[in-house]
Amino acid sequence: VHRALARGTGRCRVCGLETRPAVAALPGAACYARGVRPAVIILAGLLAAGPASGDAPDDKTAAQLERQAERMIAVVRRRVARTSPKMKLSPAQGRALERWIRAGLGPGLEGRVARGTIELARVMPRSAVELLRAHHERGVSAPESLRIGRYLRRLVATVGFDGLERLDANHSHVIGRDWQQIDYSGERLDWRSQRRYWTRRGVPDFKKASHIHAYLTAASRFRYFRRLYRPRRSMASMAAP
Query: What 3-state class would DSSP assign to 133?
Result: helix
d(CA 49, CA 2): 10
Residue 65: the pLDDT is: 87
> In sequence order, which ranges of the chain are alpha helices (DSSP H)?
2-5, 21-24, 38-49, 59-81, 91-102, 109-121, 125-137, 142-158, 164-171, 191-199, 209-219, 223-229
Distance CA 123, CA 155 (A): 10
Do 159 and 217 contact (CB within 8 A), yes or no? no
Rounded alpha-carbon distances, angstroms, from residue 162 to 39, 155, 157: 40, 13, 12
pLDDT digits (tens, 9 = 90+) for 188-203: 889 999 999 999 999 9
pLDDT confidence of residue 230: 97
DSSP letters of 23-89?
HHTSTTGGGGGGT--HHHHHHHHHHHH-PPTT-S--HHHHHHHHHHHHHHHHHHHHHHH-SSSTT--
pLDDT for 59:
63
pTM of the model: 0.75
pLDDT in tens, 144-171: 999 999 999 999 999 999 999 999 999 9
pLDDT at residue 57, rounded to an integer: 64
The residue extents of the domains of the chain are 2-49, 59-157, 179-237
Segments of the chain scoring below 50 in pLDDT: 1-54
Q: What per-residue confidence (pLDDT) applies to 56?
A: 61
